[in-house]
Amino acid sequence: MKLKLVMLFFTFLTISVKSQIISNYGIKLGIAISNQTWDYEDDFKMEFDSKLSFSPRIFVDIFNFPFWQLEGEFGYLRKGFKEKIPFTTPSQPDGTGEFITNNNSLDYFTISALAKFKYDLQLISPYIIIGPQFNLLINKDIQQGWEVIFDKYKSSNINFSIGVGTEFKEIITFPVILEYRYEGDIINNYELSNISIKNYSHVILLGIKI
């Protein structure tokens, strides 16, 4: 009987601690505009077109204090770039007006540890969100001819995420979140030192707290 009471006490204590640590959780669905910067040692830079992708995420709010809290986030984001190459002929060496599009995609599983600084009002809570993000490369879809570069591409990376958002408290049953984030790599993705390749993304997220 005593053992059962002790086990019941620790079960209640564990649930109580968890309820104090984890204040909210929810989902976010996002649209991302992604691209890459390629900087060579001789100051030569390559520019590409951005690509549009979908970015679902789940999050957990931790340590909910009056003006700040921590947020753990897990998600998926397709990064990469597009390149338009003009189609030429011997009679039209400057181009026919048609283009061939190279679409290089890099699929990442993302884990973020974010600090959220908020200001609670009656109906909304605007906030600033900032922190590191770990990216694990789970798939590559690379066009022919680009393998020589992406075969030496790192399988993981760390970037920096910063953004602003607002929580709307009484639109529907659940609080609604609207958020903008800039996410950019901190370190070079390329294994050799002659090129610095970094991803960056602009992400618009719409979510709910459950």
DSSP 132-199: EEEEEEEEEE--TT-HHHHTTB-SEEEEEEEEEEEEESSSSSS-EEEEEEEEEESS--BSSTTEEEEE
Show me where the domains of the chain are located.
24-209
pLDDT of residue 87: 56
% the chain with pLDDT above 70: 82
Record: fold of 24-209: Porin (2.40.160)
Average pLDDT value over all residues in the chain? 85
Mean pLDDT, residues 69-98 taken together: 77
* pLDDT tens profile 96-137: 666 667 789 999 999 999 999 999 998 999 999 999 999 999
pLDDT band, very low/low/confident/very high, at 174 (cuts 50, 70, 90): confident
pLDDT in tens, 164-173: 999 998 777 8
Mean pLDDT on 199-203: 97
Task: Dump pLDDT digits (tens) for 148-163.
Answer: 888 889 999 999 999 9
| DSSP single-letter state for residue 103 | E
Q: How far is CA 115 from CA 8, 9, 119, 161, 189, in A?
A: 34, 33, 13, 10, 25
pTM (whole model) above 0.85 = no
Confidence of residue 2 (pLDDT cuts 50, 70, 90): very low
